[in-house]
Structures are given as structure tokens and as C-alpha cells.
Structure 1
Amino acid sequence: MKKTMVAVLLVASMGQAMAADNSARQRLDAFFTKVNSLSGNFTQRVYDKKGAVIQNSSGLLYLSRPGRFRWVYMNPEPQEIVSDGKNVWIYDEELEQVTIKPVGSAVSATPAAVLTRKDPPAARFHVKQLPSKGGQDWFQLVPKQANRDFRSIEMGLDANGNLRRMVMRDQLGQRTDLSLNMKNNVPISGGTFYFQAPKGTDVIGRAQ
């Protein structure tokens, strides 16, 4: 009788674990397919291949899928990166200079390249669920096609399906760790995703 009870408990616990895994995976898929916009603040750290911090930054993020975002770096130096889905404006306030590039070449190695897509992650990545930590469900995404810029992404979502952490590892061994405090599906004005260069700013390139 005791052996039977133990077996029943083991099967039950396995079923609960599988249900939890499925639920977490559903939240990941829903984040990519059902979230149309994100708005909030972020902190970002970049580490070299030896694990030393080489950059600390923070600011605001506005994102509308597919393709549009406004990434505002407030510290340590003011900078804005804005995309309307076709063009990217990279504005350096101190240099009084803005560079305009096609969106594909400008953001391929950044978190924006992943966050602005609206399709299930399995369409482009091998998805592996990692052990939960910090009250978040974690997943590793590895590109199915060779990527010259990054080799893997790790994403941490809370119980409500909100993205809280994102870790990108590039081909050179550097790591970008992004912490997010965002609200999902908030209304954002379309004008947010167009950049008007301040008077006197040097403009390099031309919008499509």
C-alpha cells in the first residue's frame, strides 16, 4: 500500500510539473504573439568575455509591434534610438549628430531585434526551458539560422507573463543583461516612433 501511494504521489507531482512547464511556455508564446506594445523603463549592463562590466546604462523604452520602438538612454550619456519599422535614427545629443540607417542593419545585434517581432519564438529559435529563478520562468532561445551577431538569448518572465529580464550573448563572448519594468498593451502615439532632428543637428544618411 505504501509503495502504491508513493507511486501515485510521484505521478501526480510529475503531472503538476508538466502542467507548470506548459503554462510557462504558453506565457512565453503569448508575450510574443499577443502583446502589441510595451512601455516603461530599463537598466542595462554589458559585460566583456571575462565578466567585467564595461557599460552601465538606464532609460526609457517604448515599443510597438511589429518593428517600431523608441529606446531612450538617459544615463550615463543621453542618446536615442528610434525606429518607424523601416528606418532607424541614432541620435547622439552631445555630438549633435543623428545617423539614419535601414532598420535591418542597425538593430540586428540588439534586444530590439527580438522584442519588435510578433511571431512565436519557435519559428526562429530553438527554445529550451531553464530552471526557474528569482520568481521568474526562464527560457533559452538559440537562433535556428546562424547569426553573426548573437548566439543565444535568455528571457525571464514573471507569473503574469511580463518580461522582466533579458540576457543576450554575442559571438565575441560579451553579455548584455537587460532588466525591464514594463507595462504591456498600453496606447502609444504613432509619433513616438518618428524622430525629428533638432535644429543644428548634423544628419548622416536619409530616411527611406
Structure 2
Amino acid sequence: MKRIAIVCVAAYAGWAGAGGLESLEVFVKTVKTGRADFTQVVTAPAKDGQAPRVKTSNGTFEFSRPSRFKFIYKKPFEQSIVADGQTLWLYDADLNQVTASKQSKVLGSTPAALIAAAPDLRALQADFTLADAPDQDGLQWVAATPKSKEGQLQTVRVGFRAGEKSAELAALEILDSFGQRSLLSFSKVEVNPRLSADTFQFKTPAGADVIRQ
């Protein structure tokens, strides 16, 4: 019994000391559905000697791997981003406008692909160069750099809390080519919840303009 206990402790210590890349691989393998609240802080670079502009919003996030996810922004402005497996829908409540894009053309090199859409690590490595980043704020981080230079995304970092058998998504940090930084912090995380079939169905609000790309 003592020997078994030592082996178990050693195995856990090895996992706890693993880097962000291993956490990402475990997360993709073991977490097929998820639900969480999020707070997003967007910091725009300082201009003309002025302080950086900061905007905070919050909402909910759900996903079902592969290729289905939903971000619902509740405050300060209502917005929805829904991927149903075929189409990526963006809805702006203030403008009452919907933008619909073919998901296969726009999703590959996006932050959402890292945490919600990709079926496995190999699929991510087709679009991103992945590497361990230093631990920070008690989290294990992985850095992802898009291989395509055509988009506006510069780098992404994903932060995980390492558990005994899995990795819990904790943060997503995005830096775009304009120097704007977005940090999403996740809370009330549910791992592998049962999600209904219509969770990721988007219904166009009455009277909304629809722009198809």
C-alpha cells in the first residue's frame, strides 16, 4: 500500500509540474463540453500621451467539441457569437444586425479554435505554433502563434488550472496586430455538462438585418 501511495503521489507531482502545452492537450482530450461565466477586459494601447483605454464586459460561454460554441455578452452591451458547426453567427443587439460567415473559412486560426472547436491537438498544430509559456498567477500557460499572417491576430495565451486528472480552463489572453489586448477570465466552470441539441442553434431576431459573408 505504501509503495502504491508513493507511485500515486509521484504521478500527481509529475502532472502538477507539467507545462501549459500538456495541460492544453489534456483539456482537448478530456473536456468535450463545457459551460462557464466570463469577464473580458479589453485594453487598447495608449495614444497621444493618454492612458490606455480599458473596457470591461461579461457574459456566458458554452461549447461542444468539435466546432460548436456560444459566447453571450450581457453587459454593458448585448452581443452573441454562435458557431453551430456550419455557420458562425455574430449578433449585435444595439444595431439589430446579424453577420453570418461560413465557419470553415473563418474559425481555424481564431482563439475559439484553441479552447472550443478543435477536435485534437494535431488540428490545432495545423494552424498554430504551440509552446509552453512561463507559469503566472498560479496558472499553467501555453502560447499559440497563428501560422497564417493574413489575420489580425498576433498571439494568444491560454491559462489552465491543473487538476489531478484534467486541466480546467481559467483564462484566455489575446493580443492583436494593433496592440490591443483582451483578457477573458473564466469562473463557475462546468466540465462535460449535458448540453441540449438546440444549445447552439441561432435564431435570427425579428427585424434584424442579416449580412452573409
Q: Does the alignment reach a TM-score above 0.5?
A: yes
Matches within 5 A, 1:141-152: 141-146=144-149, 148-152=151-155
Q: Distance in 2 between matches of 1:37 and 1:53?
A: 34
Q: How many pairs does the alignment contain?
A: 191
Distance 1:111 1:122, change over 3 A: closer
- In the other structure, the counterpart of 2:9 is none
Matches within 5 A, 1:75-154: 75-104=75-104, 107=107, 110-115=110-115, 116-120=117-121, 121-146=124-149, 148-154=151-157
Contact 1:36 1:65 in 2 (8 A): yes
Distance 1:148 1:98, change over 3 A: closer
Q: Deviations over 1:86-127 (max 9, x none)?
A: 112222223222222222455567532322212215454333
Letter in 2 for 1:172: F
Q: Distance in 2 between matches of 1:72 and 1:204?
A: 19
Deviation at 1:43, TM superposition (A): 0.7
Contact 2:88 2:100 in 1 (8 A): yes
Which of 180-189 and 109-118 deviates more? Answer: 109-118
Where structure 1 has 5 or more consecutive residues not aligned to the other structure, the ranges are 1-15
- In the other structure, the counterpart of 2:205 is 198
Which of 48-57 and 61-70 deviates more? Answer: 48-57
Where structure 2 has 5 or more consecutive residues not aligned to the other structure, the ranges are 1-11
Deviation at 1:29, TM superposition (A): 0.7
Contact 2:42 2:54 in 1 (8 A): yes
Which of 192-201 and 154-163 deviates more? Answer: 192-201
Higher alpha-carbon Rg: 1
Give the TM-score, by structure 1 length.
0.78
Distance 1:98 1:159, change over 3 A: same
Contact 2:45 2:53 in 1 (8 A): no
Aligned-CA RMSD value:
2.7
Letter in 2 for 1:175: R
Distance 1:155 1:23, change over 3 A: closer
Give the TM-score, by structure 2 length.
0.77
- In the other structure, the counterpart of 1:171 is 177
Q: 2:33 aligns with which of 32, 37, 40?
A: 37
- In the other structure, the counterpart of 1:159 is 162
Contact 1:83 1:89 in 2 (8 A): yes
Letter in 2 for 1:143: P
Contact 1:126 1:143 in 2 (8 A): yes
Contact 1:108 1:149 in 2 (8 A): no
Contact 1:109 1:149 in 2 (8 A): no
